[in-house]
Amino acid sequence: MGRRENKYVNFEGRVPFDLLFVLLRDYKLRSYTLNAVSYHFLQEQKEDVHHSIITDLQNGDEQTRRRLAMYCLKDAYLPLRLLDKLMSIVNFMEMARVTGVPLESLLTRGQQIKVLSQLLRAARTKNFIMPAYQSKASEEQYEGATVIEPKRGYYADPIATLDFASLYPSIMIAHNLCYTTLVQPGMKERLGLTDEQVERTPANNTFVRAEVRRGLLPEILESLLAARKRAKNDLKVEKDPFRRKVLDGRQLALKISANSVYGFTGAQVGKLPCLEISGSVTAYGRTMIELTKNEVEQHYKIANGYENDAVVIYGDTDSVMVNFGVKGLERAMELGREAADKVSAKFVRPIKLEFEKVYYPYLLINKKRYAGLYFTRPETYDKMDCKGIETVRRDNSPLVANLMNTCLQKLLIERDPDGAVDYAKRVIADLLCNRVDISQLVITKELAKTDYTAKQAHVELANKMKKRDPGTAPKLGDRVPYVICAAAKNTPAYMKAEDPLYVLENCVPIDANYYLENQLSKPLLRIFEPLLGDRAESILLKGEHTRTRAVVTSKVGGLAGFMTKKSSCLGCRALMPAGYEKAALCPHCEPRMSELYQREILAKRSLEETFSSLWTECQRCQGSLHEEVLCSNRDCPIFYMRQKIRMDLDTQEKRVQRFGPPDW
C-alpha cells in the first residue's frame, strides 16, 4: 500500500480484520496511534505506559500491577469500541454481500475487484464471456469534469446549491454506456444499425440505445441504486439499533459500489479500461453543468418577475452554486427547489438535479476551496462546511487549524470580519512573542521512506533520534512529530527540526518566523483576500503587531563558552552589583521586597493551579484520581503542556527561593 509493507497471514476458517489497516485506508488523521484515534472518535484514551517501566510496574505491588493490567485491558477494549463506533465490520460485511467479494479481498485489495466481481456475475446471467485484458500504461487521456470559474468573494446572501443525484451512474444508465453497447468505428454499417438505434455522445463515441440492447453496466448500476433507495427507506422506519447500523452500512456500501464503476472504466492500468465510456461520461457531465448554468441564469431574471438576476457563482463536477440575490433563507430554498425541478425536466431519466442545501453566509476562495454555514432547513444551520481549507490538513501544526477554525467561526457564525482580523493579529503577535504553547506548534509527517531525493525534516529527525535512543526512535510507517527550532540564518528547515520533548527539556528556542511565513501566511491570506483584497498581506503580516518579538536566548554560539553567567535582580532585571550575587533584589529594589515577593508567590500559585488541573485531567483519563500520572502519550497536547508547566514551575520555585526563608 504505497510505501507501506503489509504482511498477510492466512488462518483457515478465520478472517483477520485489522482495524489499523481500515483506518489507514479510509480516514485521514494526524496520527494513527491507538490513543490518537480513540481520542478523535471516542474522546477516550488509555494511560500510555512507556516500555522502559513495564518491568518495574510488574515487579512492584498490587497497585502498580493494576495499572499495567488496565493498560493491557484498554489495549483490547478501545479497538472493540472503535469497531462498534465506526461500524467497520458491519460496513465491510455489507460491502461483501453487495459486491460478491470475499471479506479478506476487501481488506487487502482496492476498488477494481468489486466492480470486476459484479461485472462477472452479471455477464454470467447473459452468457457473456469477459475478455482477458493485459493492462498497460498509455499516453491516451480523456477530458475530465467541468469546473465553472468561481466568482471569488464573501457572500452575505444565501447561496443555493443544486446537486445531481449520483451523477455519473445516472449518466451511464440514461445513455446506456457499457462495454456491450459500444459501437466501434465501422461497426455500425456491418451490424446494420440505423441512426435512430444508436446515440453519439458529446465525446464523439457511439453507443447502441437501450431498446436495441441493454448494457450490463447500466443494469448493475440500476440494481445498486434501487437497492440503496430501499435500504434508505427501510432506515427511516427501522427502530432496532443493530438493524439501523446494518441498513446504514448497506446503503453506504451500495453508494460506494455505484460510484466506483465509472472509475473502473477510466483506470488505464486496470482490469478492463474503456476510455470511450469514461470520456463520454465526463463529456455528458460537462454539457449538463453548462446547461444548468444557462437555464438558471436565463430564467431567474428581473425581466421574468423575480427579485434579482440569478448568477451561478461556482460549479464543480456535479453541483452548481447559485446566488438568487434574495436575502431570506426560506425564499432561497424555495427558489432552489423550483430551479432543481425545472432543470431536471430537461434531462433524460434517471438523471435528476436536486436542491440539497443553502450556504449562508458563504466564503468562496477558489476552485475547490470554500467555506460556509450549511443549512438544510431554515431554523438553524447543520454545520460549518469547509472544503480545501487548512482546517484538516495533517502536515500543518495544530496552530494553523485552530486559527483557521476560529477565524471562520467569527466570519461565518458571528459575522464579525473585524473580530476575525483582530484575532488573527493577536495570534501572530503571541507567536512572535513566544506565548504560544509548544503543543500547538507540533508538525507530524509519516516516515514513509528514508531515501527521499531531497532531505526531509522528519527523516533527518528520525535518524537523529535513532542515535540518541534506538528503542524509542520512530520506525517506517510511523508519523514523526517535530517542531522547527531557531538557528543561524539560511539554515535549511530539515536541520532545524527537533523532537518537541527534547526542545522542552533543553529550552531550545522556537523559530517563530518559520511558522509565520511557512505555515500561517498562505492559509490566512486565502481566507482574508476575498474580504480585504490586496490589503490582506499588509494588514495581517505587517504592522505594529509583528514588530514586538521574543528575545531568543540560545545555549549555543561562538561566544557562549566565554560568557560568565551573572544573576539579575528579580525586580528591575538589572545585573546584580558586587556583594549581592546571591540576593533576590538589588539595593534599588530592596524597599519593595514585600510587594515583589508576593508577586513571585502569586505567579508560583498560578502555575501550581494550572499544573494541578492538567494533572487531574490526566488522572481522569487513566481512570484513577489517587495515582501518579505515568502517561507518555506524545499525541496528546496535554502531555507537552504538562511538561512545559512542570519546567516553568521549577524555574519559578528557584526564583522564590532566592528570597530565602520567610522572616515571620
Please, are residues 174 and 347 in contact by the beta-carbon 8 Å criterion? yes
Q: Enumerate residues 6+ apart whose C-beta is below 8 A from 570.
A: 584, 585, 589, 596, 600, 655, 658
554 pLDDT exceeds 60?
no
Please state which architecture CATH assigns to domain 19-118.
2-Layer Sandwich (3.30)
Tens digit of pLDDT for each residue in 426-467? 999 998 888 888 888 888 887 877 677 778 888 888 888 888
> Where does residue 227 rank: exposed (0-12), middle (13-18), buried (19+ CB within 10 A)?
middle
> Hey, how many other C-beta atoms are within 10 angstroms of the C-beta on 183?
19
Closest alpha carbon to 353 in 318, 301, 321, 311: 318
Residue 413 DSSP label: I
What pLDDT is stored for residue 563 in this prediction? 40
User: Residue 123 — φ and ψ, nearest 5°?
Assistant: -65, -35
For the domain covering 391-440+510-563, report its CATH number: 1.10.132.60
Grade residue 626 by pLDDT with cuts at 50, 70 and 90. Answer: low
Q: Which residue has the higher pLDDT, 186 or 314?
A: 314
Residue 295's identity, in one-letter code, is: E
pLDDT at 40: 84
Give 257-310 pLDDT, tens digit per residue. 888 888 888 877 778 888 888 888 888 888 888 889 888 889 888 888 888 888
> What value, to the nearest 5°, has the Cα angle with vertex 650 and ends 585 and 441?
115
For residue range 604-621, what is the model confidence (pLDDT) as tens digits? 999 889 888 888 887 777
Q: What would the pLDDT profile of 360-390 be if each residue is shown by its tens digit?
A: 888 888 888 888 888 888 888 888 888 877 6
> CA distances (Å), 496 to each of 461, 487, 549, in order?
9, 7, 19
Half-sphere exposure of 306 toward its Cβ, with a 13 Å CA cutoff? Answer: 22
- Between these two residues, 391 and 152, which has the higher pLDDT value? 152
For the chain, give the number of residues: 664
CB 551 within 8 A of CB 573: no
Percent of the chain topping pLDDT 90? 4
Question: Which residues on neighbouring strands pair with residue 206, listed in sequence order?
Answer: 183, 200
pLDDT recorded at residue 394: 61
pLDDT at 146: 67
Going by C-alpha positions, the residue among 308, 410, 322 that lies closest to residue 359 is 322
How many CB atoms neighbour CB 316 within 10 A? 17
Whole-Å CA distances, 376 to 125, 159, 337 = 43, 12, 12
CATH number given to 144-387 = 3.90.1600.10
Output the pLDDT for position 80: 92
Question: What is the tens place of the pLDDT at every residue in 200-217?
Answer: 888 888 898 888 888 889
The x, y and z cell numbers of residue 373, run together, are: 454555514
Output the pTM of the full model. 0.72
- Flag the least confident range among 118-132, 209-223, 609-623: 609-623
Q: Give the chain's count of helices (H) and strands (E).
A: 23, 14
pLDDT at 602: 92
Give the 3-state secondary structure of residue 95. Answer: helix
User: Where is average pLDDT lowest: 43-52, 316-325, 348-357?
Assistant: 43-52
Would you say the C-alpha torsion 301, 302, 306, 310 has a positive or negative sign? positive
Q: For residue 646, what pLDDT band results from cuts at 50, 70 and 90?
A: confident
The band of 142, judged by pLDDT with boundaries at 50, 70 and 90, is low
Hey, which residues does 366 pair with through a beta bridge? 369
Which candidate, 170, 180, 267, 187, places its Cα nearest to that of 221? Answer: 170
Rounded to an integer, what distance in angstroms lies between the CA atom of residue 38 and that of residue 46? 9
Average pLDDT over residues 621-629: 68
Would you say residue 663 has pLDDT above 80?
no
- pLDDT for the residue 534: 82
Domain boundaries, the chain: 19-118, 144-387, 391-440+510-563, 442-496, 590-657
Q: How far is it, in rounded angstroms, from Cα 515 to Cα 509?
A: 13
With beta carbons less than 8 A apart as the criterion, state whether 191 and 181 touch: no
pLDDT of residue 3: 62
Query: What is the rounded average pLDDT for all residues in the chain?
Result: 83
Nearest to 362 by CA among 527, 200, 182, 226: 527
